[in-house]
Copies of this chain bind each other. A is one copy, B any other.
Amino acid sequence: MSSKLLSRVQCKQLRSKIIEPSGLLPSFQGHQAIGWSGFTGVDYPLQSLEPLIHEVRSNSSYAKPVFDLRVCSSGGTATESTLAELGMVSSRSPYQVSKAINKGINNKRIQFHDHSLIDFAEQLTSGHLGAKNGKPQSLSIAIVEATEITEEGELVPGASVGVTPELIQVAEKVIVEINTNSPSLRGIHDLYVPALPPSRSPLNLCTSSDRIGKSTIPLDPKKVIGIVEGFHGNFPNRTESGTSITKAISQHIIEFFKHEARRGRLPDNLHPIQSGIGAIANSVVEGLGNSSFRNLQVWTEVLQDSFLRLLESGTVQYASSMSLRFSPQELENFYKHWEFYKNHIILRPQAITNSPEIIRRLGCISLNTPVEVDLYGHVNSTCVMGSRMLNGIGGSGDFMRNAKLSIMHTPSVRPSKIDPVGISTIVPKVTHVDHTEHDIDIVVTEQGLADLRGLSPRERGREIIEKCAHPVYRPILMNYFTLAESACLKAKMGHEPILLDKAFKMHTSFLERGSMKISSW
């Protein structure tokens, strides 16, 4: 028994549960719903499933189990992919980034439940999730990451909180995996699980540094079927660097913030920022660092590198997140300056980070990247060409619907195989709607920023084409818009003009010829 692991399991009673991962093999049998922690962060449990994968791979007559995977969001993508390739995944909730899982979703082998993260958390505890034909499915096993088990037998989670508390609460059996190559994160968490209605109380949290829960998760020892050691390294992430496009987008956004602050519609320290993952998000955060805004608050789901530097410089006062996602260098920096960061960062479960109650109370500024946006501000975040699932809605719906300022940022075009500007992200009508016109305030591309607040659909159409569309697509879109406007006004149905038989013509052109550029409508 590794002394490293023993030092992390303070509770003597639970030390008897320490086992080799191979000891878990008999627990995986038949068709099971499995909860699994991991949220795009730097760490997640991996060893627990390795012996099973090895058996299934090496022994073709092994009675392989089939899983309904309920992952906080996205966890061990490599392991997930392997499970999918071995045909061991029947369904998956609520968000995924693994290639083989994605393939299975789009070729019908895997049923995907694309849930908003707040709803996923609530459905887990209410027993609605996986109810099929009125029969709710219980969660057989939860595999959760921990960085320590306290003397009282409570669990200190790792860098990805997600729905770990809920998984532990509802699962019949619990496997705890402690990666001894990562230090304990004791003290950084604030863990609170809202009660179910009708017994739910207000979340008494008014700023990103407020604490309303405990720093550990209660664990019923009777449920624990194994504590295993993880000894893989971390999984730090590459930080996507900015381009002239992402920098232009960032500049438009910072200019807009300055403009709003000058007019007194935003305080000088803005409102708490929620920002997604990727190059645009990084450029915006960097832009904030170079601006005169100070004492910012962050209320987000995933904390990336760029925020660490802003915390150090004091540009950001406090950051609340659900998980940490750092590059190797910044991860080292984070562990090195643990005492500083522990006092400037709180990690929370997604039932809190994504709570409409809190997002609306704090008045968050929310920034996300869509697949495509249409003339009236409807947004597709999940289904390419209306049918191919990318990753899922994740937390974007929770934030876009409730933020004080909902901002969609995207390059105006993307390359296709045959055309460097073959795909316009501004389209006549999105092929799938994840966020409606009612929820989007600002659309911004490298071309410019469209402020949709207070505009009717026809006004929005013109604003988005003029400010956001790529010059190649501007005349194409304006042509469609004027045709649609004239036809619908003639028919006395001109509130939000559409040509039902032509609305997807740019998309079908792309599918047929590889480019959305069309010469006529």
Contacts and interface: CB of A to CB of B under 8 A. Distances in A.
Given A132-B455, A356-B401, 19 more contacts: A91-B456, A107-B494, A114-B438, A119-B438, A126-B404, A128-B441, A131-B454, A137-B454, A197-B362, A198-B267, A386-B496, A386-B503, A387-B494, A388-B495, A431-B500, A433-B436, A435-B436, A500-B507, A500-B511
16 contacts: A91-B456, A111-B459, A127-B265, A129-B454, A131-B453, A137-B454, A197-B404, A202-B203, A202-B205, A356-B356, A356-B402, A357-B357, A386-B500, A386-B503, A387-B494, A431-B498
Nearest to A116: B438
B495 A389 contact: yes
A405 to B, nearest CB: 9
A453 B511 CA distance: 32
Interface residues of A, number: 100
Contacts of A129: 453-454
Interface in A177-205: 196-198, 200-205
Interface in A455-500: 455-456, 458-459, 484-485, 488-489, 491-498, 500
Nearest to A135: B263
A106 B492 contact: yes
A434 to B, nearest CB: 6
A492 B200 contact: no
Given A387-B488, A404-B126, A202 B132 contact: no
Which 4 residue pairs across A and B have the least CB separation, nearest first?
A197-B363, A388-B493, A389-B495, A111-B456
Interface of A: 91, 103, 105-108, 111-116, 119, 122-123, 126-134, 136-137, 196-198, 200-207, 259, 263-265, 267, 271-272, 355-357, 360-363, 378, 383-389, 393, 397, 401-402, 404, 431-439, 441, 451, 453-456, 458-459, 484-485, 488-489, 491-498, 500-501, 503-504, 507-508, 511
B389 A454 contact: no
Nearest to A441: B128
A134 B263 contact: yes
Nearest to A435: B436
A204 B202 contact: yes
Contacts of A200: 206, 361-363
A103 B495 CA distance: 10
Contacts of A360: 355-357
A413 to B, nearest CB: 20
Contacts of A508: 500-501
Given A106-B492, A494-B387, A504-B503, A363 B198 contact: yes
A116 B103 CA distance: 37
A491 B389 CA distance: 12
Contacts of A384: 493
A265 B128 contact: yes
